[in-house]
Amino acid sequence: MKVLVVEDERKTAAYLRKGLTENGFVVDCADDGAAGLERALTGEYDVLIVDIMLPKRDGWSLLAELRKAGTATPVLFLTARDAIDDRVKGLELGADDYLVKPFAFTELLARVRTILRRVGSSRDVVHIADLEIDLIRHRATRGGKRLDLTPKEFALLSLLARHTGEAISRHLIAEQVWDVRFDSDTNVVDVHVRRLRSKVDDPFEKKLIHTVRGVGYVLEDRP
């Protein structure tokens, strides 16, 4: 699942990115409202976490523009403003939830997952052959057997699953799963793909994770 965090406090943004990434989410960040709106309109996100008091464009106007443009991506407001009127205004504009700072990350994570379960979509569960990936509950099974994946392995698998049949470059995998620029001298992506294959493919006759020479990897059911 992919999350956009729009937060101008660097420590808070880094804290959210780290926590969400460790729990298997792919995270993008924007540090002002204008950049956040552009990313939200042009990117594909499952949920937005948006501060209200932002430079260039506040969270309220960001949400209003999103809804005006017909974008229904769920929004969780994260803010220091705890007045009832502020909460009501956010909900009336189309926010899905409202969490006041300071907050416990476990509560934020629970609220994000609740929003995703409530909103639902055809992308909640992805099937490739006998592989089933539940993007909401962060579970994967193959042949009915639960796969014991680490958060990074699940993040890698879910990235491939959201682009089933599409070759994903090592550069994109490194950026989306590890939030780092890909270094051709680093084999971190290949190492983690091998580990993922040992759980997803090795115990089974049919292989689903394929190498695309000179590009990266693809998850697909080949004849």
Query: Model confidence over 95-113: pLDDT tens digits?
Result: 888 888 888 999 999 999 8
pLDDT for 94 equals: 80
pTM: 0.64
Which CB contacts under 8 angstroms, 24+ apart, belong to 52-59?
52/77, 52/79, 52/81, 52/86, 52/90, 53/8, 53/79, 53/80, 53/81, 54/6, 54/7, 54/8, 55/8, 55/31, 56/32, 57/32, 57/33, 58/33, 59/6, 59/33, 59/90
Segment 36-55, tens digit of pLDDT: 999 999 988 989 999 999 99
